């Protein structure tokens, strides 16, 4: 009668059933907080959409497109055009100012200097937006630092009005959204291999030619992404145009606030918000299409 060995041979693997969840389940488990947060945002957006087709006093039971028809009036159309124009101008200016900063950050070899540059760029995001706007009031006011400096240099004889107009709002929008332009551009420029620049330099290209013909075209997806982020951020800005522009620069977010706070007209405010969201998403979709197409062209050329 044969007996089974009591011990297993050395090196023989003992197969045991694996207890646990599949990788797909683990992925969904880690994504569940983000999906829950996105679900809350989508639910809030649907509620705003429902209120936009309601009537004042019957936001959940009534149905009317009068709020959207009201947005076709010249005053509201001018506000929408003004919002898109200031957001577009601020995006262009922020990108132009961010390109040299991003290029410097991408070419720094010292970790300490890179951290210093990054901290300086992120500083506006660490300061409350309300405090930044009050800082601009101190700088741009008739007796502010800028006017005092210009008069001290003899460039102007009397203070110039920089507040409560589009110029002051534009400066505030550019400053507050500047980090959103720098970070994606710096990331894109950091991804440009040095070998391309070295090859162009060996062929006799100057530094400016290398930057204009090599670095900028290959960093175009990051540039478009930075411009899109600044545009979307400033299109819905409320604090900056309210404090720096007052009622003389009626951007759409300020009008939404006015419809809610004194008038309690939730359908009109919701309709204006829906139009602003749809317009911003349409422009961002176009930007993403251009970015994706440019990225595919770069991958094909490589």
DSSP collapsed to 3 states, the chain: CCCCCCCCCCCCCCCCCCCCCCHHHHHHHHHHHHHHHHHHHHHHHHHHHHHHCCECCECCCCCCCHHHHHCCCHHHHHHHHHHHHHHHHHHHHHHHHHHHHHHHHHHCCCHHHHHHHHHHHHHHHHCCHHHHHHHHHHHHCCCCHHHHHHHHCCCCCCCCCCCCCHHHHHHHHHHHHHHHHHHHHHHHHHCCCHHHHHHHHHCCCCHHHHHHHHHHHHCHHHHHHHHHHHHHHHHCCCHHHHHHHHHHCCCHHHHHHHHHCCCCCHHHHHHHHHHHHHHHHHHHHHHHHHHHHHHHHHHHHC
CB 99 within 8 A of CB 79: no
Give the span between the Cα atoms of 234 and 226, in whole angstroms.
12
105-154 confidence digits (pLDDT tens): 888 888 888 888 888 888 888 888 888 888 888 888 888 888 888 888 88
What are the C-alpha distances in Å from 211 to residues 100, 216, 300? 10, 6, 21
CA-nearest of 235, 241, 223 to 186 is 223
pLDDT-based confidence at 230, cuts 50/70/90?
A: very high
pLDDT-based confidence at 231, cuts 50/70/90?
A: very high
pLDDT-based confidence at 302, cuts 50/70/90?
A: low
- The pLDDT value recorded for residue 301 is 66
Residue 16 has pLDDT above 80, yes or no: no
19-58 confidence digits (pLDDT tens): 566 778 887 888 888 889 889 988 988 888 888 888 887 7
280-296 confidence digits (pLDDT tens): 888 888 877 877 777 77
Whether pTM exceeds 0.85: no
| Average pLDDT of span 246-274 | 85
- The pLDDT value recorded for residue 3 is 53
- The pLDDT value recorded for residue 7 is 55
Topology of the domain comprising 62-300: MetI-like fold (1.10.3720)
- The pLDDT value recorded for residue 191 is 84
CA-nearest of 289, 151, 278 to 224 is 289
187-229 confidence digits (pLDDT tens): 998 888 788 877 888 888 888 888 888 888 888 888 988 999 9
Q: Percentage of residues in the chain with pLDDT exceeding 70?
A: 92
Give the span between the Cα atoms of 26 and 188, in whole angstroms.
31
| Average pLDDT of span 155-170 | 87
- The pLDDT value recorded for residue 85 is 93
Give the span between the Cα atoms of 160 and 60, in whole angstroms.
49
- The pLDDT value recorded for residue 83 is 92
Give the span between the Cα atoms of 223 and 106, in whole angstroms.
14
Residue 8 has pLDDT above 60, yes or no: no
83-111 confidence digits (pLDDT tens): 999 999 999 999 999 999 999 888 888 88
- The pLDDT value recorded for residue 6 is 53
pLDDT-based confidence at 18, cuts 50/70/90?
A: low
**When comparing pLDDT for 301 and 271, which is higher?**
271
Task: Give me the phi and psi of 16, to 5 degrees please.
Answer: -125, 150
């Amino acid at each position: 009668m044969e007996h089974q060995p009591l011990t297993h041979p050395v090196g023989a693997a003992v197969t045991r059933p694996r207890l646990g969840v599949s990788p797909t389940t683990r992925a969904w488990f880690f994504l569940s907080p983000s999906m829950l947060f996105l679900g809350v945002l989508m639910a809030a957006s649907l509620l705003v959409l429902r209120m936009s087709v309601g009537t004042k006093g019957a936001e959940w039971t009534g149905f009317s497109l009068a709020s959207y028809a009201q947005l076709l009036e010249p005053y509201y159309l001018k506000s929408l055009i003004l919002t898109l124009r200031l957001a577009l101008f601020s995006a262009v200016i922020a990108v132009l100012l961010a390109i040299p900063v991003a290029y410097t950050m991408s070419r720094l070899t010292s970790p300490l200097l890179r951290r210093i540059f990054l901290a300086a760029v992120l500083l506006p995001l660490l300061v409350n937006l309300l405090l930044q706007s009050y800082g601009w009031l101190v700088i741009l006011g008739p007796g502010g630092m800028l006017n005092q400096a210009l008069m001290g240099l003899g460039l102007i004889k009397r203070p110039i009005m920089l507040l409560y107009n589009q110029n002051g709002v534009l400066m505030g929008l550019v400053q507050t959204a500047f980090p959103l332009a720098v970070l994606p551009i710096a990331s894109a420029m950091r991804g440009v291999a040095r070998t391309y620049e070295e090859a162009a330099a060996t062929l006799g290209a100057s530094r400016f030619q290398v930057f204009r013909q090599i670095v900028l075209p290959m960093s175009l997806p990051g540039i478009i992404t930075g411009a899109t982020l600044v545009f979307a951020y400033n299109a819905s800005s409320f604090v900056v145009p309210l404090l720096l522009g007052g009622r003389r620069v009626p951007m759409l977010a300020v009008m939404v606030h006015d419809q809610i706070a004194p008038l309690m007209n939730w359908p009109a405010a919701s309709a204006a918000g829906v139009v602003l969201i749809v317009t911003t998403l349409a422009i961002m979709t176009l930007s993403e299409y251009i970015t994706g197409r440019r990225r595919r062209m770069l991958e094909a050329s490589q």
